[in-house]
Amino acid sequence: MAIPANNTAPLFGEGASSTLRLVVYLVIAVALMIADRRGDWLERFRAAAGTFIEPIYRLAAAPSELARDARVALADRRVLTEQNAELSRQLLLAQTRLRRVEAVQEQNQRLQELLSVQKTLGLSVQLAKVIDVDFGPYRRNTIMLDLGSDNGIKIGQPVIDARGLLGQIVEVRPRSCTVLLISDKSHAVPVRIERTGLRTIVRGNGTLDTLDLPNIPISADIKPGDKLVTSGLGGRFPADFPVGVVRSVGNDSTGMFAAAKATPDATLDRSAEVLVLHELANPVGPPAQAEEFGPPAALAGSDEPAPPATTPPAPVEDPAKQGEP
Amino acid sequence: MRVRGLNWLFLGGIVASFVLQLMPLPAVLLPFKPYWLALVLIYWMIELPEKVPLGLCFALGIVADLVGGEVLGEQAMRLCILCFIVLRFRSRLRFFPMWQQTLAVFALLLNDRIVYLMVHAIAGDPPPDLDFWFAPVAGMLAWPWLFLLLDDLRARLRAGDT
């Protein structure tokens, strides 16, 4: 029995010594918190510990996976038949759409070759499953994927779903990784408004259905319905991925700038399968000089000669160099 | 033999509380997730305080921070404060009837929530939504069942030995 040990304990605690211990522990805790907010070495410590903690995550995720499997296993025949009919109809629809997309892609390829503006964006992607999601009131907006450093995942790779940009990888463990969503308060994406080309920055605000666009000049041309795509600046995300759609435009609290709210394109709260981009964006800085620019010689021959296209940049650059001796 | 079984129950309860804490839930239920680790620790502090010194609370808090991925040291601080209060008033809590004990647990969890809020307010985070305050209520509702379950398991262990 445990009673004898209790009898020796005084009725009103142990007094000063336990209070002192509490104070010591609280001081340590506060020091840790400050170090964690400021520092980076604790991040590394946490990444190392992540390897040991991973099995607990797997264990915690097991019941919900079991429930999902059970729902499939126990579904009755009628439901399955209905589902089958529904799915085959959807497949037909999807195939038709796919054909059209193929045709468009072929046409696109021809046009791009014709213009030789850019190499086609050959994307190499990796399919990943979402294994854990947790959005607490103060937690970072993150999801966990079942790919890790064993699959060649590296920190900083962009993650997309079928509709748009989802986030980027911030932590990598051997068999899993953590993705910081674009809706997180600490996340910002350089974007371009597709209609006007205006460059700005989209910040997350912690909620899954809203992105903030702070500090837009009041005179800027932006209105609800404008599409936002990544601008490719900053060297983290490749250009021209859809990010969101502007929902409302208003003034910010100071009245000096406009501030807009946008709805993210990616289904931040629903994606079960996502794509990890393997091709990282161009590094910061000007790209290498293009060799050929303009239509192929065979097409350009009959019209005006091409040279004017290469000459204009030179006079523009020279004054700028002279201006800052 | 009895001590061995008790240790397993103690360890198992804590591991189970970690797993419950991390279990992914539908978004609707998420605000109602009780602070399981605190509930399990409160039980052991009331019943067998010599098993749960302040240092263990601190260490478990650090582990919870590592597992949960919030600010390191935050749960350690919250659990230390909780542990201290419970150990102080243990002699009284122990002989409370169940409904009074449940209210006391609610007060403890509410206090814990306020400490949580203070830590984040000092760090400069914005105030949370209303559903932030649902968790202590859920914890209060979970307490009697948890208490009865652990008491029953402990009684069975004792009966199995004699």
Average pLDDT estimate for A297-304? 56
- With a cut of 60, say whether residue A317 has pLDDT above it: no
pLDDT-derived band at A254 (thresholds 50, 70, 90) equals confident
- With a cut of 90, say whether residue A296 has pLDDT above it: no
Q: Which helix (H) or strand (E) holds A50?
A: helix A41-74
pLDDT-derived band at A168 (thresholds 50, 70, 90) equals very high
- Interface mutation vs chain A, best among B43, B58, B94, B95, most A CBs within 10 Å: B58
Determine the angle formed by the axes of helices B54-68 and B2-22, rounding to 10 degrees.
40
Domain ranges of chain B: 2-161
pLDDT on residue A206 = 83
B24 vs A30, A133, A206: nearest CB: A133
pLDDT on residue A40 = 64
pLDDT on residue A234 = 81
pLDDT 10s digits, A98-138: 888 888 888 777 666 555 433 434 566 777 888 877 666 66
Average pLDDT estimate for A169-192? 90
pLDDT on residue A110 = 64
pLDDT 10s digits, A112-123: 655 543 343 456
pLDDT on residue A318 = 43
How far off is chain A from B99, nearest CA to CA, in Å? 22
Domain ranges of chain A: 43-115, 124-283
Written as six digits, the tokens of A318 are 């020279």
- With a cut of 90, say whether residue B64 has pLDDT above it: no
pLDDT on residue A2 = 43
Give percent of chain A above pLDDT 70: 72
Written as six digits, the tokens of A165 are 């940009």
pLDDT on residue A208 = 85
In this structure, the number of other CB atoms found within 10 A of the CB of residue B97 comes to 7
What is the rounded average pLDDT for all residues in chain A? 76
Average pLDDT estimate for A225-241? 86
pLDDT-derived band at A313 (thresholds 50, 70, 90) equals very low
pLDDT on residue A4 = 45
Cα–Cα distance for residue pair B27/B69, rounded to 1 Å: 19
pLDDT 10s digits, A263-283: 998 888 776 778 888 765 555
Average pLDDT estimate for A26-51? 77
pLDDT-derived band at A295 (thresholds 50, 70, 90) equals low
Q: Identify the CATH number of the domain defined by range A124-283.
A: 2.40.10.350
B71 vs A25, A36, A133: nearest CB: A36
Q: Tell me which residues of chain B, numbers 56 to 115, contact chain A at a CB-CB cutoff of 8 Å.
A: 58, 61-62, 66-74, 76-77, 80-81, 84, 87-88, 90-91
pLDDT on residue A35 = 81
Contact assignment for A56 to B81 by CB distance below 8 Å: no
pLDDT 10s digits, A153-165: 888 888 887 778 8
Angle at B25 between CA B19 and CA B26, to 5 degrees: 180
Average pLDDT estimate for A61-87? 81
Q: In chain B, which residue ranges form alpha helices assigned H by DSSP?
A: 2-22, 36-47, 54-68, 74-88, 90-94, 98-122, 134-161
pLDDT-derived band at A42 (thresholds 50, 70, 90) equals low
- With a cut of 90, say whether residue B108 has pLDDT above it: yes
pLDDT on residue A7 = 46
**Do B42 and B108 touch, CB atoms closer than 8 A?**
yes
- With a cut of 90, say whether residue B109 has pLDDT above it: yes
Pick the most confident of A6-10, A65-69, A87-91.
A87-91
pTM above 0.90, yes or no: no
- With a cut of 80, say whether residue A45 has pLDDT above it: no
* C-alpha pair distances (Å), A84 with each of A78, A81, B106: 10, 5, 50
* A320 lies within 8 A of chain B by CB: no
pLDDT on residue A190 = 93
- With a cut of 70, say whether residue A285 has pLDDT above it: no
Give percent of chain B above pLDDT 70: 96
Cα–Cα distance for residue pair A272/A128, rounded to 1 Å: 9
pLDDT on residue B156 = 86
* C-alpha pair distances (Å), B25 with each of A77, A308, B138: 28, 63, 14
Average pLDDT estimate for A211-228? 89
Average pLDDT estimate for B60-68? 83
pLDDT on residue A287 = 58
Determine the angle formed by the axes of helices B2-22 and B36-47, rounding to 10 degrees.
160
Written as six digits, the tokens of A37 are 């907010």
A32 vs B20, B72, B88: nearest CB: B72
- With a cut of 90, say whether residue B110 has pLDDT above it: yes
- With a cut of 70, say whether residue B89 has pLDDT above it: yes
List of chain B residues whose C-beta atoms are within 8 Å of the C-beta of residue A137: 31, 128-129, 131-132
pLDDT on residue B160 = 74
